[in-house]
């Protein structure tokens, strides 16, 4: 047994202190996306919430997935997305990550996180969910599928990208988006924010 | 219209060149996890494949999700996980990311990517999937749920963490794992690798 390595089996994990386990397990998925999810209630209140479980599902049709934790109460974002299907994902960058983090506080249903944390809502005609004006990469989606993870009632929402706005300086000739040119951040665990530095872009792997 | 911003609507995205769209859409989910997924066929051939759609599903029980793209043929990893349920996730770090990337080449079912790219398989007793010896963070999982994304037949596998090994120097007193102490990398799009630098860890957000 290497003393420089900490190892846990299934029983060890089960017996961990709740807070310790939450920190530990939340770090296992590696570096994560940092996105502000904008939604709107049927009564017109704009909601904004930080999500790190955001992932690519497919390019054609253009699909993204978001996991909604059911145990987080209130869960205004999920209710809004279920009700009106429109939502936005806005990449968090270095100038707005403290405000993004602050959206996690438990605001009431009739309070807009935009006002509470000091970000500005930006609306597009015909799209009933708010974008974040201060964000650089702004994605508009329509929810297409809802799946329930049976083991813990987590909700997976798959949305189709129907609107996209990215600063030109970050878009390569081949469509690649250079996130670091926009100071996009990444999250580890529940609460640690990182900037990135490119190592390299590798060519398509051949045998 | 701001000339410094590039904008696309649903029709614009649909009409994009296939390769351009693949690059563009793959970048929208922000920074992604870089994990090597180890699996084993029923005939005992070890398989290793790079996955960036890896995410946290829950801490109690400890659950992680992995998306398997169905259009990637051959899809030995998914077949193996379906057949024997065991799989591993091994975080990619700066010393092994070129080898990790190379696992994406189309090796035959009877070829082990471990040998082909020059990484070593590490087996644990009673666990029929290989870990990556050179990785620092090694996670053993058992597949619990399979979901199909109807829009494009992508497969979501939810696995329970049953084994965990992390260098002690990266584990904080509260269970937080400091990924940058292990030079863990993150991926953007299909093929760009980044190291990270911590900005800060923010406290639990209160209203």
**Which ipTM value was assigned to this complex?**
0.96
pTM of the full predicted structure? 0.96
- For residue A157, give how far its alpha carbon lies from the nearest alpha carbon of chain B (Å): 10
- Cα–Cα distance for residue pair A22/B205, rounded to 1 Å: 16
Query: With an 8 Å Cβ cutoff, are B163 and A8 in contact?
Result: yes
A185 pLDDT more than 60? yes
When pLDDT is cut at 50, 70 and 90, the band that residue A5 belongs to is very high
Q: Give the residue on B whose Cα is nearest the Cα of A8.
A: B164
pLDDT at A69: 85
Query: With an 8 Å Cβ cutoff, are A193 and B198 in contact?
Result: yes
Question: For residue A188, which of A22, A14, A34 has the smallest C-alpha distance?
Answer: A34
Give per-residue pLDDT as tens, A74-85: 678 999 999 999
pLDDT at B72: 60
When pLDDT is cut at 50, 70 and 90, the band that residue A141 belongs to is very high
Query: With an 8 Å Cβ cutoff, are B56 and A28 in contact?
Result: yes
Give per-residue pLDDT as tens, A35-48: 999 999 999 999 99
Give per-residue pLDDT as tens, B4-39: 999 999 999 999 999 999 999 999 999 999 999 999
Q: Looking at beta carbons, which residues of chain A come within 8 Å of B192?
A: 176, 178, 198, 200-202
Query: With an 8 Å Cβ cutoff, are A201 and B193 in contact?
Result: yes
Query: With an 8 Å Cβ cutoff, are B161 and A69 in contact?
Result: no
Q: Looking at beta carbons, which residues of chain A come within 8 Å of B64?
A: 28-29
When pLDDT is cut at 50, 70 and 90, the band that residue B161 belongs to is very high
Q: What percent of chain B has pLDDT over 90?
A: 90
Tell me, yes or no, if B85 comes closer than 8 A to chain A by beta carbon: no
Q: What percent of chain B has pLDDT over 70?
A: 97
DSSP A164-188: EEEEGGGB-TTS-B-GGGGTB-EEE
When pLDDT is cut at 50, 70 and 90, the band that residue A133 belongs to is very high
- Under 8 Å between Cβ of A134 and A120: yes
Give per-residue pLDDT as tens, B106-117: 888 888 899 999
pLDDT at A108: 85
Tell me, yes or no, if A161 comes closer than 8 A to chain B by beta carbon: yes
- In chain A, positions 54-83, which contact chain B (CB-CB < 8 Å)? 54-65, 67, 69
């Amino acid at each position: 047994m290497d003393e420089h390595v900490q190892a846990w089996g299934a029983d060890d994990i089960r017996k961990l202190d709740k807070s310790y386990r939450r920190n530990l397990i939340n770090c296992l998925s590696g570096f994560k996306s940092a996105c502000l999810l904008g939604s709107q209630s049927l009564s017109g209140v704009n909601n904004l919430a930080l999500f790190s479980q955001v992932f690519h599902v497919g390019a054609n049709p253009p699909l993204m997935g978001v996991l909604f934790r059911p145990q987080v109460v209130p869960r205004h974002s999920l209710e809004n997305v279920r009700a009106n299907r429109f939502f936005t994902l806005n990449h968090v960058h270095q100038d707005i990550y403290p405000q993004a983090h602050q959206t996690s506080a438990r605001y009431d249903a009739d309070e807009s996180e935009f006002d509470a944390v000091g970000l500005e809502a930006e609306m597009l005609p015909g799209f009933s969910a708010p974008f974040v004006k201060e964000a650089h990469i702004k994605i508009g989606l329509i929810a297409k599928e809802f799946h329930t993870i049976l083991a813990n009632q987590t909700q997976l929402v798959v949305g189709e990208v129907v609107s996209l706005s990215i600063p030109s300086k970050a878009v390569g000739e081949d469509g690649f988006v250079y996130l670091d040119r926009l100071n996009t951040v990444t999250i580890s665990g529940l609460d640690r924010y990182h900037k990135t530095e490119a190592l390299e872009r590798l060519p398509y792997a051949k045998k």
